Structure 1
Amino acid sequence: MIFSPLARAITLATAGSIFLAAPSLATADFINDSTATLGLRNLYMNQDTRSGASTDATKTKEEWSQAIILDYKSGFTEGTIGFGVDIYAAAGIKLDSGPNRSPDSFPQRSNGKSVDNFGKLGGTAKAKLSETVLQVGTLRPRLPLIQANLEGRLLPQMFTGGMLTSNEISGLTARLGHIDRVNYRNSTNTERMEMNVVGKRLYDKKGAKNITGSNRGNYTSNSFDLASLDYKWNDSLTTGYNFGRLQDMYKQHILTAVHMLPLGDQRSLKTDLRVSRSTSDGDIRVDNKAFSGMVTYNFGFNKLGLGYQKMTGDTGYAYIQGTDPFLVNFLANREFGAKDEKSWQVRHDYNFAGLGIPGLTVFNRYVKGTGANLGGGKEGREWERDFDISYAFQTGALKNFNVRWRNSTVRSNIFKDLDDNRVILAYTLPLL
């Protein structure tokens, strides 16, 4: 089993300091407010890219695997400044795959074959003063500027860095963050960060290179800085401003607004608006303005949503490779963020508690994108349909056990065609 040396060092250092202080912490909030869970996640994934002959190793990605995840979060020690530690440890075990089925959740050896098992180990030291918390070490942020991919594969994407979060003013959440390395979901190493380039029409400022394929490895960064403010005006409206900079790659501003309008009798209307501006911060020419918005009507046990998204500028939407882009039309496989692309979404959710089956939920969504600029007068067009059904056992011995099936179909001349099926069995056992 392979673990990141940096993550291991951070974990041992933070855990060691806590153990040395253990006698004085025995009755403190550090222990009383601690939480720990043991997660078991079984994943079957089959992705047919519908390309090449049946012997083409890139045609199908198929794997069956098991994850064992320990997630511990301490409370804070007593005193003016409280200290704590979070520890994340996970192991991924391959149950079935093969060299012609390209397993996608596991690190690859130099001969192109994947390892049979691997691990991730991360530690986060944290300190709290009043309503302000500082975290240093392993981070899994879910913010507009950087959203770690947590469920796309067997184990999550993680980062190393520091994050300061303050809630000193009622209704206002302020954040400052610095990220220096990424650990991809199918990797044991921490690496420099890249920018997503698929369909983005990215060139250096001299216009000499299209930054795709083998070129992209020459454009990496070891610094992502962010600042954000979110303000909850009342129970109905929250707005936010976010600024981020991936050093030598791009700068980005994001404005957000979420409004919930109660309509009475189990009905409401939710509006989610997102506007961003991305520009160059180095030799890469980045110029993108993105608007995306979603209106969702909630009625009874149903939700019906309509979304619209539009890209303008010389390039597509900018975000860190491997993360989830902050766009309403980001789906299971596509984000519809290519240069000049416009896309529409329709989505329906249903909670079967309305039929007396609590825990059973389902949603369908469809997005169609047109008008993407692929160069040479070629227009990019694509669509994706997702079907997702999930059942969470509510009582008895199987409580906290969840069964989920995700089915996705993609047809695209921007990226690739894809038929995707995933079955996920997840059980979470509370330890503390």
Structure 2
Amino acid sequence: MLKTPIARGVALATLGATLAIPTMAQAAFVDDSKVNLELRNFYFNGDNRDESATPASSKDEEWAQGFILRAESGYTEGTVGFGVDALGLLGVKLDSSRNRTGTGLLPIDSNGTAPDEYSELGLTAKAKVSNTVLKIGTLEPKNMAVARSDSRLLPQTFKGGQIISNEIKGLTLDAGYLTEVNQRNDSHYEDITASLNGGSLGGGEIDNLIFAGASYKLLDNLTGSYYFSNLEEAYKQHSFNLVHVQPLGNDQSLKTDLRYARSTDDGSSDVDNKAYGAMFTYSVSGHSFGLGYQEMKGDTGFAYVGGGTDPYLVNYVMIGADFAKADEESWQARYDYNFAAMGIPGLTFMTRYVTGDNFGANGRGKEWERDTDIGYVFQEGALKNLGVKWRNGTYRSNIDREVDQNRLIVSYTIPLM
């Protein structure tokens, strides 16, 4: 596998960074380094259930092989430690055609077909002082303000800078400045976009994303978080989160996840939204029973970074319905089971149902989604650590396209260093 062009590129980039550091400082840099290669085979089948649609839009079906090579160095010795990370991404088409594109697994050329392959090489310079790390270059942020998506063949990445500090016990500080995004099925960076759920920009041009936040462990079982974000010309947003886990004895617990976000206009936009969310999960002996509620208030729906980025909402689910349109109310019922509780470690099951209404013209819009995941990771033998997951989803709406969808994902990670 290391003979692929993208693998060679990552290896050479990391080696070059190592050679550029004085020999005396290389020990920790090399000894703490990690390199692994993830192989991800992804089959995607979507039936859009639209009898009036052309063949090009009635079905999405593609099959592809992904290679994700991650190289993370340690840090040089001294008060300020320096390092470099590299991310090599390669997607290879196994099956596709002009009338079945649109799955998000592969790019689409100007002639409407998917290329045979696409790739990207990302480099990140990093510096560490005590328990504070600064990274500049290719980033994969995952927080309340912006969360990169990894639900297709290759992960979404950003360019910019981010600093995370853990100097105070229980407190994490996080701030960043993002300038460009590389989508999950693309090989080049582009300007960041916005998903405004009914809002508009009024001709404004989106610039960069700025965010800053903190997460603090208030008690052993209670964590509070706050983030501010500003997608220039699109929106400003204040996000709050409280997570409490109450042990109930005898392998039981109750988790409470409360969320609130206030989004307002910026520049030429008309964003105005208050998003409320709550998820309660009772767990016992491998079983988890969840009940969620989400409500939108204001002139527009929930605003977040566009292009497939995951919004921080309790009812954001598989097929793309975020249940976050203006004035929408939605409920979720979820059940998970970990078969390790009955002696089958590695086997997991999840199913959920989400229904939303009170949106659209005269508040008559309705939609619902049902998802099921079954996954297994081999625990021993020649296939140890090989993961297989089947995802099935159904989406129905009285104002939007209806979808039946299946995804089959086989993944295996090889540690190389």
Q: 1:379-394, aligned counterparts within 5 Å?
A: 379-394=364-379
Asked if 1:143 is matched to 2:140, the reply is no
| Pairing 1:249–2:238 present | no
Residues 86, 361 of structure 1: alpha-carbon distance in 2 compared, 3 angstrom cutoff = same
1:118 aligns with 2:118: yes
User: Cα offset for 1:113?
Assistant: 1.4
CA–CA separation in structure 2 for the residues paired with 1:22 and 1:355 = 54
1:348 aligns to 2:335 (yes or no)? yes
| 1:25, distance to aligned residue in structure 2 (A) | 3.9
Correspondence 1:127-138 to 2 at 5 A: 127-138=127-138
Shift of 1:189: 1.6
Q: Secondary structure at the match of 2:367?
A: strand
* Whole-angstrom CA distance in 2 between matches of 1:405 and 1:286: 37
In the TM superposition, residue 99 of structure 1 has moved relative to its aligned partner by 1.2
**In structure 1, distance between residues paired with 2:79 and 2:399:** 55
| Cα RMSD for the two superposed structures | 2.0
Question: Secondary structure of 1:42's match?
Answer: strand
1:18 aligns with 2:18: yes
Cα 1:339/1:103, change in 2 over 3 Å = closer
Secondary structure of the 1:268 match is strand
Q: Contact (CA 8 Å) 2:46, 2:61: kept in 1 or not? A: yes
1:413 deviates by 3.4
Name the structure 1 match of 2:268: 283
> Which digits, 9 at most, give the CA deviation of each residue in 1:115-168, with x for residues without a partner?
111002111100000111000000111101101001x21111110000011111
> In the aligned structure 2, how far is the partner of 1:311 from the partner of 1:80?
48
- Encode CA deviations 1:329-387: one digit per residue, 9 max, x unaligned: 11112110000000000000001112221110001100000101x24x25221000000
1:250 & 1:54 partners in 2: Cα distance?
35
Match of 1:201 in 2: 198
* TM-aligned CA deviation for residue 175 of structure 1: 1.1
**C-alpha deviation, 1:103, in angstroms:** 4.7
Residue equivalent to 1:338: 325
Structure 1 contact 156–185 (Cα < 8 Å) conserved? yes
Secondary structure in structure 2 of the residue aligned to 1:332: coil
Partner of 1:266: 251
Q: Distance in 2 between matches of 1:2 and 1:323?
A: 28
Give CA-to-partner distance per residue, 1:50-77, whole Å, 9 cap, x none: 1245752011110111011111111111
The yes-or-no answer on 1:396 pairing with 2:381 is yes
CA deviation after TM superposition for structure 1 residue 47, in Å: 0.9
2:159 touches 2:179 (CA, 8 Å); kept in 1? yes
Q: 2: distance between equivalents of 1:431 and 1:235?
A: 37
Q: For 1:82 and 1:135, how far apart are their aligned partners in 2?
A: 12
Contact 1:161 1:177 in 2 (8 A): yes
Q: What is residue 348 of structure 2 aligned with on the other side?
A: 361
Q: 1:153 to 1:2 in 2, by over 3 A?
A: farther
Alpha-carbon distance in structure 1 between the residues aligned to 2:11 and 2:84: 9
Q: Quote the Cα distance in structure 2 between the aligned partners of 1:2 and 1:222.
A: 33
Q: Is the 8 A contact 1:195 1:220 kept in 2?
A: no
Unpaired runs of 5+ in structure 2? none
Cα distance change, pair 219–405 in 1 and its aligned pair in 2 (3 A): farther
Amino acid at match of 1:143: N
**Percent same amino acid among aligned pairs?**
48
Structure 1 residue 48 displacement after superposition? 1.0
> Retained in 1: the 8 A contact 2:93–2:114?
no
SS in structure 2 of the partner of residue 336 of structure 1: coil
Q: Is the 8 A contact 2:166 2:172 kept in 1?
A: yes
Does residue 371 of the first structure (1) align with residue 358 of the second (2)? yes
Structure 1: gaps (5+ residues): 206-217
Give 3-state SS (helix, strand or coil) of 2:382's partner.
helix
User: Aligned partners of 2:364 and 2:171: how far apart in 1?
Assistant: 43
**Counterpart Cα distance in 1 of 2:343 and 2:363:** 51
Letter in 1 for 2:144: P
The 3-state SS of whatever aligns with 2:56 is coil
Does structure 2 conserve the Cα–Cα contact (< 8 Å) formed by 1:103 and 1:114? no
Pair 1:414–1:135, CA change in 2 (3 A):
farther
Give the alignment's TM-score, normalised by structure 2: 0.94
Is the 1:250–1:318 contact (alpha carbons within 8 Å) kept by the matching residues of 2? yes
Query: Match of 2:236, SS?
Result: strand
TM-score by length of 1: 0.91
Contact 2:101 2:108 in 1 (8 A): no
Deviation at 1:186, TM superposition (A): 1.0
Larger deviation, residues 104-113 vs 69-78 = 104-113
Retained in 2: the 8 A contact 1:400–1:429? no
Cα separation, 2, equivalents of 1:37 and 1:14 = 13
| Residue pairs, 1:102-117, within 5 angstroms | 102-104=101-103, 105-117=105-117
